[in-house]
Amino acid sequence: MPDHRQSDGTWINEENELEAGNGQTDPLALATRQQETDEIEEVDPKDQELVKSAKWSTIDDLEEIKKLHRREKFVIIDWQGVEEKAHDQALKEIKKNYSQNDPPENQEIERLLSVYARAYKTRLKEGLKTIPNNIDYFNNPQEARLRELAIRDRREFPTHDHDHIRDMAVVRVLQELHISLHIATDHFSAIHDLAAKYQHYYSDSREAVVWPGQGFF
């Protein structure tokens, strides 16, 4: 079952879920699940105020990131955190817009949350392109966890040997994603990509701050 890498570094799988040979969900599925596209469709007139609010929200957030950048901080954008931030902001806006009326049905709330999140993330990504350096990304929780492990391993098992670091990277990826050896050969490309992330984190000793607001590494 083929998997492919998008231009923004995220992994997609043709069926959204990978299966191991035993018919169970492959633990790598979470790391390779397709992310929703961020292209904004033509905005429904009734959603224009919500979309406008989402775009305004990115102004403060991009300014916060730029301040970190100006302080020469190495910033890691956690896309899962961005999703949660957009969800919380959207919910506040929806409540405000409906404060004088009965709340909308659950299906409509989900639609409005999606409209806000798509507008917010698209505008945020556009703004991030104007910040040239010192920006990296967590595309999924596994990458965040691998950075924690790489920093700990660098402290506890320091080495400059490239092959040794690579060996640790592969072991950590297999452990973290609970991939057994009998299915590992089916996912060489994905394992290779995550192992490369680990190597990068292990070798990069710069202090990094994760945005939105999870502190320093």
Which candidate, 108, 104, 105, 128, places its Cα nearest to that of 116? 108
Do residues 86 and 13 share a domain?
no
Do residues 69 and 95 share a domain?
yes
Distance CA 57, CA 38 (A): 16
CA distances from 124 to 71, 166, 177 (A): 20, 34, 29
Distance CA 88, CA 131 (A): 25
Taking the CA atoms of the chain, what radius of gyration do you get in angstroms?
20
Residue 40 lies in a domain: no
Residue 12 lies in a domain: yes
Do residues 50 and 128 share a domain?
yes
**Tally of domains in the chain:** 2
The tokens 């969800």 sit on which residue? 87
- What are all long-range contacts of 22-29, with beta carbons under 8 Å and residues at least 24 apart? 26/179, 26/183, 26/187, 27/177, 27/178, 27/179, 28/177, 28/179, 28/187, 28/190, 28/191
In percent, how much of the chain has pLDDT > 90?
A: 26
pLDDT band for position 34 (50/70/90)? very low
Residue 108 lies in a domain: yes
For every residue of 137-158, DSSP letters joined together read EE-SHHHHHHHHHHHHHHHHS-
pLDDT value of residue 85: 93
Do residues 60 and 116 share a domain?
yes
Span 108-126, pLDDT tens digits: 999 999 999 999 999 999 9
Span 162-214, pLDDT tens digits: 999 989 998 898 888 777 777 777 778 888 888 988 888 888 766 778 898 75
Q: How far apart are the first and last CA of the chain?
A: 36
Residue 53 lies in a domain: yes
Distance CA 104, CA 99 (A): 11
Span 68-84, pLDDT tens digits: 888 877 788 888 899 99
Query: Length of the chain in residues, anyone?
Result: 217
Most confident of 14-18, 71-75, 92-96, 143-147: 92-96
pLDDT band for position 134 (50/70/90)? low
The parent domain of residue 153 ranges over: 3-35+139-216
